[in-house]
Amino acid sequence: MSKTATHHPAESSKPTSAPLLPADSEGSALSLRLKQYLKPQDIDQIWDGYRFAYQAHDGVVRKTGEPYIIHPVSVACILADLHMDTPTILAALLHDVVEDTPITTDDIKEKFGQQVAELVDGLTKLDKIEFQSASQAQAENFRKMLLAMSQDVRVILVKLADRLHNMQTLEAMKPEKQRLIAKETLEIYAPIANRLGLNAIYQELEDLSFQYLYPMRFRAISKAIKAARGNRKEVVSKILESIKQQLTSLNIEAEVSGREKHLYSVYKKMAGKTTSFSQIYDIYGFRVIVKDLPGCYLALGALHALYKPIQSKFKDYIAIPKANGYQSLHTTLFGPFGTPIEVQIRSKEMHNIADAGVAAHWLYKASDAQLTALQQQTHQWLQRLLDIQSESSDSLDFLEHLKIDLFPDEVYVFTPKGTILSLPKGATAVDFAYAVHSDIGNSCVAVRINQDLAPLRTELHNGDHVEIITGALAKPNPAWLNYVVTGRARAHIRHFLKSQQSTESGHLGERLLNKALRALHVEPSQITEEHWQKLIRDYGLKMKSEILTDIGLGKRQNVMVAHQLVAMTDDHLEKHTKLPAMSLDTITIRGTEGMAVQFAQCCRPIPGDPILGFINKDKGLVIHTHDCPSVRKFKLDPDKWLDVEWEPENQRLFKTNLNLTVANQPGMLAKIAAGIAEAGSNIDNVSVEEADGSAYANLFFTVQVQNRIHLADLMRSLRKIPDVVRINRTKGNQNGGSTKGNGAKQSSQ
């Protein structure tokens, strides 16, 4: 019975793959490829795999109506072009067998061995799991793919070949599906191919994605490039000939070729620089391949003598290779007629790696140390992604981090020991710290860049020498998330903050629950482990700490949990059936609870202010002043608020806002800042209302004080400064902004 495979895209009636021919056919495209590099016994084993896959998929057709076997054979052909080993070719032929047919991984292991079975298992998609959304299913798929990649990088090579053939045959899918698959390819698969150095596959995936995501732009640029190819043919030929003559005259043996930029790179350049196609002169580039490394620099000198170089457009990827192992000299020259010429200069070995990336290990059997280093770099990259995965709380978080990590425009910086680290463009000192080690990142407090102290948010540049200064008691700051760019740093910071919030919320939740239990005349010690275990089972959770954290975060009501625990205690309800309505004790606020207790920015309460506590889902306990306008709507819902009070002895500093009207004279800001410092306070933020030509100006300060008495002393000392006309404590989320219109301004104390 014939059925259509719906999960694999299929496009054209002219597949780029091998035609369906008998396994022993000499004319098979796959056979021709395999004979170039494999032994006869290996080829025989591959044809066994072909026959096995053919029988398994017998009767199944693709969207185009072609036999399904066309797809795995095409994937095998792509990998054979990379001269991949026998297990990889077999895995390509069998990669859909386990998912789509009754055949199991054990069957493959029995017939083709452990290695092939593991590769196929790594490629087999997730079982049918119920996900909340399609994006979550996609994200979970990538997590599984990453785990398989970390075991054996050949898994992702087969996966990329599989995606390439699906993209080559995408036309038969519906337009919405085409766009969805093309977007995923452009965001994930093409960058992975680039990261692994598979240049040809990377460029084709980008161009095919571009074709389906932006069909009109694709056609317009294709047409423009064809026209330019004819118009510029004479110029390109002249440049090519002059480069060849220059190198020959200096006895430099080299292969020189012209190359056309792929469509998507032209589009990116046009979009990035918002220029028209006519202004893009470098759709043609030139490649010079010499026999060894010294020849690269000799050729560079020869070309700089022929045409003047553009100084800012030279990059030496030989001395400092890209993270994917790519090595080359890039230079841009002023060519004839003022046309910029892009030239890449590399050795034959570098060219092999530039095309095949990590696959060069199989494509070019060599003991070259550079290949070994490339394998190690790839393994380290995969290990970093695994670290990010372990720190990410869910699949969508991980997918976000993966996308960040896959789009680096690299910056190369040096550690104090002279080791080169590759970071994405825009990376800061915090990104560098986490790239060195997660412990360094978690405890960094300052940085020296080129021997000079600098803020942690400082953006790094090529060649910077970076030294991180750590502190024993330091911990990540939530503000770091505003400027870190690497997935590794972001994942570690979020993981730390969530762990810290969970711990602090657990402590707060325990305090809230204990208060509720005592209001029911039950001491917390009366609740046994047996009671807790029953409640944990009822909630479908694993640990007591999860319940306490949920209470602290406001996700569960402490009163309800207390009632459920009390109901489990022996004869408690019988003894206390006529108890008066419960009254919760007041919660004491120390100010040192960390992230579990937050002080509302709308009113910025300080010790001495009458306060109320509100349970806010995900934020935990939020403290407001009694008269804060934001809390009026909550007062009608008693389940939402708690009675709270300040701990009498409190030494920490709290933020509050001040609004000063002063004479508009030079030096006023300095005088006020000095007055704040003398009063033992600290300035957290300051801003000045835009000048309107008046004789007076409004200054807005966020200052840190211990309590209302400290604030009153501060305000009295500031009033003594000449030319301070008025001073008020203001309420409202005013970080340097006016409080007009929020109805939150208070009169001065």
Q: Could you tell me how far CA 614 lies from the centroid of its own chain?
A: 34
- Look at the alpha carbons of 264, 266, 269, 273 in this order and tell me if their dihedral is positive or negative: negative
Residue 123 near residue 148, CB atoms below 8 Å: yes
Q: Of the residues 85, 99, 171, 400, which is catalytic?
A: 99
Which residue has 């929020």 as its token pair? 742
* Among 741, 732, 608, residue whose Cα is nearest residue 659: 732
Give 324-388 as a 3 state SS string: CCCCCEEEEEECHHHCEEEEEEEEHHHHHHHHHHHHHHHHCCCCCHHHHHHHHHHHHHHHHHHHH
Q: Based on the residue annotation, tell me whether 99 is a catalytic residue of this protein.
A: yes
Residue 322 near residue 297, CB atoms below 8 Å: no
Task: Look at residue 513 and give its three-state secondary structure.
Answer: helix
User: How far is residue 547's CA from residue 565's CA, in Å, rounded to a whole number?
Assistant: 12
* Pure H helices in 214-347: 215-231, 233-249, 263-273, 293-306
**Alpha carbon distances (Å) from 409 to 230, 284, 424:** 33, 22, 5
Q: Based on the residue annotation, tell me whether 44 is a catalytic residue of this protein.
A: no
* Among 141, 76, 152, 144, residue whose Cα is nearest residue 118: 152
Q: Torsion angle, CA of 211/214/217/221, rounded to 10 degrees? A: -30
* Among 405, 594, 419, 399, residue whose Cα is nearest residue 489: 405
List for the chain the helix, strand, coil content (%; round to 5): 50, 15, 35
Residue 79, both tokens: 């990998």
Q: Of the residues 81, 100, 316, 459, which is catalytic?
A: 100
Which H helix or E strand runs over 730?
strand 724-730
Q: Please list the active-site residues.
A: 99-100
